[in-house]
Structure formats: structure tokens, C-alpha cells
Amino acid sequence: MTATVSFPLDTPAGPREATVAYERRGAGEPLLLLHGIGHHLQAWHPVLDILATEHEVVAVDLPGFGVSPPLPDGVPYGLGSVVPALGSLCATLGLDRPHVAGNSLGGLLALEMARAGLVRSVTALSPAGFWSEAERRYAFSTLRAMRAGARVLPRPALDRLSRTAAGRAALTSTIYARPGRRSPEAVVAETLALREAPGFAETLAAGEGVLVTEDVPGLPVTIAWGTRDRLLLRRQGVRAKRTLPGARLVRLPGCGHVPMNDDPALVARVILDTARETSSVAGGTARPATV
């Protein structure tokens, strides 16, 4: 069941309030799930019930995505605004330094939350920010093309395409390695989410100057990359490992850019394993660097 919550924002123009939609289930240490640009919290549905067996799981529609309204006027979509907003969201929901798993934009946000001391562990699935300039331009142009296609496609045509495996592949193969596994309803919903997201353009513009260059020491971090990621190419995972030498780099065989649907069991295991390592790192136990 999707609910909404409002939380305070401190801005240069004074106090503001943001509202997001979220789903919450399970019990245990809190685990926050962050989706990528143009997507929505339903991206996590394939793994949500598995994760909820060990955690209190909260999946959110980021501001300006899914059914969450955009950030208030005058509040930018850059990391300097969105990361504190997520911290305020966690405080409002009573999530004390949650574990965080994020995909793409969500992975970048998870790492930045870690730098701000807001989380217990990070699992970043194909996180943004480890690109070369040419790779960034390729990814952004691809995202813009996907958005443009979603905006011009008539709804009856979208419904027809979603009913066939070939149509679902045409609509979503850029982000899924196994698009045929998505249900017609899910494909329609995520295409509409991409088409209608009011935060898309500003978020993409804010990402043009983003490049991750700092480590995140002192807590478990896993970087996981699909071997069939067509948006953020998997060599960026090697670059991420150089930038975050204490992180574990995990390959996700046969998975695309949004791996939760391609191999739910594997993605859930990677997230749960990372969260379980919190006590090991706190106790000084060494963790494997690469899988």
C-alpha cells in the first residue's frame, strides 16, 4: 500500500516542505530503497518481499518522480539539496541511519548519504557518477531519447506494445536484460512514470557536473554492476572500485541496468549480505574486496 509523507526542508530561502510517496513493509533494521532517474518505487517490487524478511523496508518515489510531487519552487535537484532532503525524510519516518540500496541515480544518492553520515551500509547498483565525459554524454542522450519516445507514444500504442514480448523489449530493453519478464502492467506504468516525471529535466541537468572522486570509508559498501548494462557500461564498475578501494565490487551476470527484475534473488542476496556486514566492519573484520 502506497502512502505519502511530508517533511521539512531547510533552504537558503527559508523553511520549505516536501512530500513523497512510499511503501513500507517488514520488520528489523531499516532499509531504504532509492530508484533511478525516470523510474519509480515499483522498480523494487521484484525484491521487496525478500528484503522484508530481514528488514523494515521503505521504498520511495523520489521528489518529482513516480507519484511524488516535485521539490518546492526554488529548491534545486542537485545532490546538495536532495541528500539533506532524504535525511529529513528518514528522520520523519523514524529511520535511524538506515541501510540504503540504490540503483543508478539512487546509487549515487546512497553513496552521498553515506558521506553525510546518514546510513549504516550502501549497496549501489550501477550507480551514476563513475563515468568518463563521453560515457556520461552517451547515457544522458540515451535517457533523453527514452523520455522523448515515451512522451510521443500514444497510450493505445503503448498498451498494445506492452502485451507482447517483442513490444516490451522495444520499450524497456535499454534498462532490462530480460524485458520479457516484466508484466504488461509494469511496462505501461514505468513508461508513464518516465513520460510524466516533472523532476526529470532538472535532475538530468544537475547531473552534468557530477563525478564521484571521494572514498566512503568506515562502513560496508557494495558496488554491483550488471554484465549486460547498456546504459552505464560495466567498465564503470572497475572505475568505481578504484575510487572506493574498500568497497566490494560484485558482478551481476546476465543483468541489465535495472537488475532487480532480471535476477531478483541475486540482487536481494547482494543487498542483504551488505547489510549483514555492518557488525563485521564495526568489529574490525576484513571483508572481501571483489566477487
Q: Could you say which of 3.65.10.10, 1.10.1060.10, 3.40.50.1820, 3.20.20.150 is the CATH number of the domain covering 2-131+212-282?
A: 3.40.50.1820
Specify the pLDDT at position 279: 56
pLDDT at residue 290 tops 50 = no
Average pLDDT of 101-119? 98
Specify the pLDDT at position 22: 98
Could you tell me where in the chain the CATH 3.40.50.1820 domains are found?
Answer: 2-131+212-282
Number of Cα atoms under 13 Å in the Cβ half of residue 213: 4
Specify the pLDDT at position 280: 55
Specify the pLDDT at position 13: 79
pLDDT at residue 175 tops 80 = yes
Average pLDDT of 76-100? 97
What pLDDT, in 10s, does the model give residues 213-264?
999 999 999 999 999 999 999 999 999 999 999 999 999 999 999 999 999 9
* Beta-carbon count within 10 A of 116 CB: 13
pLDDT at residue 285 tops 70 = no
CA distances, 113 to each of 25, 117, 267 (Å):
22, 6, 21
Nearest-10 crossing angle of helices 79-93, 105-115: 80
Contacts of 49 (CB under 8 A, 6+ apart): 25
What pLDDT, in 10s, does the model give residues 25-49?
999 999 999 999 999 999 999 999 9
